């Protein structure tokens, strides 16, 4: 009876912990249900294979000029060496699990070539670990401002109701769930620094921010957090800047720690290309800051964030509510949202290639969770004095989240089995496949005729619709 009573107390008092435990169990159950490890080297294909390329190049072929036979995306430097197109950041995050897979492969008769099953099994397990640690830290960050119940519902919505789900379970070895973890670390260590005033947490924030920037340079926006935390006007910003200057040597060292992960990339370029910096993207691949495709980025049937992840529309209501509920982070979250939407919609390919929904925004759920929680918090406290109305609103929120989770799960499954096209969806195609489980031959032909593939050469030249 005491055990049952203890379990009951945990469920009532710490529902966010119960939700996290559910995620852990759910992840074990779903470990290999979304991935066919025997199909075409999946998940070590396309972008993931490029992130991963540093590991077999360095530890199997011992050749970071990529002269060995390979299908990696490389660029040729002026000195004739081939240079990896991506940075080493994701390879560094894969590396502990790569070595586990390498050792297991050698001990169990598998080829130690970097691509046999043990490597894939191990990397996929690592993905789950990073994602779950990101959720755990996100929970810690939310509990700073919100109740257990609000935090529990927010975590449930973020992990299962958004495309973070697909980019953990379906193709988690892409960078997004990993960066969700890194940005959650950045937010967590910043708060710890503010609470304890221990400089080690400032250094950890600097390193995680630098590492996120290494993997995806636009994620440097996380540096807005120390600048805008607890800021309400311009004078507060000046005060924040003065606080950092007053750190003296510690501030300078923090800057070096931020740069450190990036420096090793620069050093790689210098050693193997002869230049400290080499542009590894193709001609025309860049930002069109005077022509951000905000409406397409948010609402297009091709990849619109709010079309394929409708639960995040609650952000538009929740972020303004932060001004009363969590004033310290209001300005930061507002600008973080606006700057990221502007930057990502300004990229030459605002849809970011083949993907389920808007994948480029996924890691930022580590911050957007605050806005989502603010919405639930307001809803949970509305008509609090009239219990029947208050409970009805809470029930409606739960139903809404469950409906979005169901939609997200169904559409993730559709994407996995090519009922949702990775880059050519249109309004007609979206509603044609809505709630379908498979195509007949006739339906497949219809689907092929109603999708519209992007004209990438035209987009590179600036015609971005």
**What is the DSSP secondary-structure string of 185-254?**
HHHHHHHHHHHH--HHHHHHHHHHHHHHHHH-GGGGGGGHHHHHTT--SHHHHHHHHHHHHHTTHHHHHH
**Segments of 6-131 assigned E as strands:** 74-76, 82-84
Query: What's the mean pLDDT in 405-433?
Result: 96
Query: Going by C-beta distance under 8 Å and a sequence separation of 6 or more, which residues neighbour residue 311?
Result: 157, 161, 162, 372, 400, 401, 404, 408
* Per-residue pLDDT, 3: 53
Per-residue pLDDT, 241: 87
176, 362, 156, 324: CA torsion to nearest 10: 130
What's the token pair of residue 341? 């939407």
pLDDT at 281: 85
The mean pLDDT of 203-213, rounded to a whole number, is 98
**Residue 24's pLDDT band (cuts 50, 70, 90):** very high
Q: Could you report how far apart the first and last alpha carbons of the chain are, in Å?
A: 63
Question: What is the percentage of the chain residues whose pLDDT exceeds 90?
Answer: 84
Residue 10: predicted pLDDT: 62
Q: How far apart are CA 87 and CA 261, in angstroms?
A: 10
The answer to whether residue 149 scores a pLDDT higher than 70 is yes
**Contact of 408 with 402, CB cutoff 8 Å:** no
Is a pLDDT exceeding 80 seen at residue 413? yes
**For residue 315, pLDDT beyond 80:** yes
Spatial CA neighbour of 177 closest among 149, 144, 215: 215
Query: Mean of the pLDDT values across residues 295-303?
Result: 97
> What is the Cα 8 distance to its own chain's centre?
34
Pairwise CA distance, residues 121 & 37, whole Å: 8
Per-domain boundaries in the chain: 41-460
Region 199-220 average pLDDT:
98
**Is the Cα dihedral 369, 371, 372, 373 positive or negative?**
positive
Range in 218-222, 325-329, 372-376 with the lowest mean pLDDT:
325-329
pLDDT score, position 325: 85
State residue 282's pLDDT score.
76
Cis peptide before 137 (omega within 30 of 0): no
Q: What is the mean pLDDT of residues 187-208?
A: 96
Q: Kindly report, residue by residue over 4-14, the tens digit of the pLDDT.
A: 455 555 666 79
Q: What is the pTM of this model?
A: 0.96
């Amino acid at each position: 009876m005491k055990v049952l009573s203890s379990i009951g107390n945990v469920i009532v008092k710490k529902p966010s912990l119960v939700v996290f435990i559910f995620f852990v169990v759910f992840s074990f159950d779903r470990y290999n249900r979304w991935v066919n490890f025997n199909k075409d080297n999946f998940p070590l294909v396309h972008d993931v294979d490029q992130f991963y390329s540093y590991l077999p190049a360095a530890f199997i072929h011992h050749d970071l000029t990529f002269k060995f036979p390979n299908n990696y995306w490389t660029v040729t430097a002026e000195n004739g060496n081939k240079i990896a197109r991506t940075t080493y950041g994701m390879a560094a995050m894969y590396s502990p699990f790569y070595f586990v897979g390498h050792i297991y492969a050698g001990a169990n008769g598998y080829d130690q070539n970097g691509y046999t099953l043990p490597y894939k099994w191990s990397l996929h397990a690592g993905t789950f670990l990073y994602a779950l640690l990101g959720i755990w830290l996100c929970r810690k960050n939310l509990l700073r401002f919100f109740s257990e119940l609000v935090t529990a519902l927010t975590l449930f919505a973020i992990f299962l109701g958004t495309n973070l789900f697909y980019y953990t379970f379906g193709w988690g070895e892409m960078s997004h769930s990993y960066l969700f973890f890194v940005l959650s670390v950045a937010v967590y260590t910043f708060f710890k620094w503010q609470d304890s005033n221990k400089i080690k947490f400032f250094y950890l924030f600097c390193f995680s921010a630098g590492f996120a920037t290494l993997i995806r340079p636009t994620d440097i926006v996380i540096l807005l957090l120390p600048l805008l935390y607890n800021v309400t006007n311009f004078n507060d910003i000046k005060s924040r800047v003065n606080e950092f200057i007053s750190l003296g040597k510690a501030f300078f060292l923090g800057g070096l720690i931020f740069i450190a992960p990036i420096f090793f990339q620069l050093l790689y370029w210098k050693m193997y290309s002869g230049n400290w910096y080499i542009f590894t993207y193709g001609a025309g691949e860049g930002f069109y800051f005077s022509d951000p495709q905000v409406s397409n980025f948010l609402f297009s049937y091709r990849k619109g964030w709010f079309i394929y992840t409708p639960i995040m529309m609650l952000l538009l209501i929740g972020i303004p509510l932060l001004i009363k509920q969590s004033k310290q982070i209001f300005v930061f979250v507002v600008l973080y949202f606006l700057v990221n939407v502007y930057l990502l919609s300004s990229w030459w390919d605002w849809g970011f290639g083949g993907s389920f929904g808007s994948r480029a925004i996924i890691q930022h759920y580590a911050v957007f969770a605050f806005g989502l929680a603010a919405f639930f918090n307001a809803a949970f406290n509305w008509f609090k004095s009239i219990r029947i109305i208050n409970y009805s609103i809470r029930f409606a929120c739960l139903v809404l989240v469950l409906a979005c989770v169901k939609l997200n799960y169904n559409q993730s499954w559709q994407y996995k089995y090519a009922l949702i096209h990775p880059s050519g969806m249109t309004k007609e195609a979206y509603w044609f496949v809505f709630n379908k489980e498979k195509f007949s031959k006739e339906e497949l032909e219809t689907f092929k005729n109603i999708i519209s593939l992007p004209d990438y050469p035209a987009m590179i030249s600036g015609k971005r619709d």
